[in-house]
Structure 1
Amino acid sequence: MNEDVPQEITSLVGREVYSNNGVFVGQVEDLRLDLDTETVTGLALGSLNHDLFHGRAAGANGVIIPYRWVRSVGDVILINDIIERMKNTDDDAQAVA
């Protein structure tokens, strides 16, 4: 596939998200957009790996992770190690009611 050809952002919906260590994180259900800059700023995940989000997203339907965590997009989406990110940042994934 030619990297220069823009992809429809809706093609991200439904893709599974894994950490760069191969741990399943969740599935993309929606996107957070910045309409002023016309960029994706976050991925709204559902079907979460409850072991990763235990105590952080209890009772939530999903989380929004910052798009800057994304390492690559292909058949699946790879993100930086979610456990390390959640321990070391103030801008953690946000629970979504």
Structure 2
Amino acid sequence: MEGEMQEITNLVGREVYSNNGVFVGEVEDIQLDLDRESVTGLALTELNYDLFHDKAAGSRGVIIPYRWVRSVGDIVLVNDIVERMREPEEEEEV
């Protein structure tokens, strides 16, 4: 279990990119569900404000669901966050 805890803390400071190569932010903290002993989200700072300008205006960061994570290595890859963060009317125009 100690190795698992070390692995979780190693996420802090890693850069997060979408699977399309778009910079999303940097992991500052991890959101946990202690009852289920699972990671539920990643708290990101140093955000790409082109993605989050409407959602994160005036805040230091955002929390993205951990289910969006595709892989973890030197960086964290997440699902296409760009499409997930768009307003519904923007998607219709595309």
Does the alignment reach a TM-score above 0.5? yes
How much is the aligned-residue C-alpha RMSD, in angstroms? Answer: 1.8
Partner-residue secondary structure (3-state), 2:26: strand
Deviations 1:45-72 (A, max 9, x none): 0000011111111000000000000000
Within 2, Cα distance between the matches of 1:49 and 1:66?
A: 17
- 3-state SS, counterpart of residue 20 of structure 2: coil
Give aligned pairs, total.
85
Distance (Å, rounded) in 2 between the aligned partners of 1:57 and 1:31:
18
Is residue 42–residue 65 contact of structure 2 (8 Å, CA) maintained in 1? yes
The unaligned stretches of length 5 or more in structure 2 are: 89-94
Task: Tell me if the contact between 2:19 and 2:78 (Cα under 8 Å) persists in the aligned partners.
Answer: yes
Give the aligned residue type for 1:28: V
Q: 1:33 aligns to what?
A: 32
Q: Which runs of 4+ in 1 moved over 4 A?
A: none
Aligned match of 2:54:
55
TM-score for the superposition, normalised by structure 1 = 0.81
Return the alpha-carbon distance in structure 1 between the equivalents of residues 21 and 7 of structure 2: 25
Higher helix share: 2
Amino acid at match of 1:86: M
Higher alpha-carbon Rg: 2
Q: Aligned partners of 1:68, 1:88: CA distance in 2, in Å?
A: 20
Counting aligned pairs with the same residue, the percent is 74
1:88: how far off?
7.8
User: Paired residue for 2:92?
Assistant: none
Report the TM-score, using the length of structure 2 for normalisation. Answer: 0.84
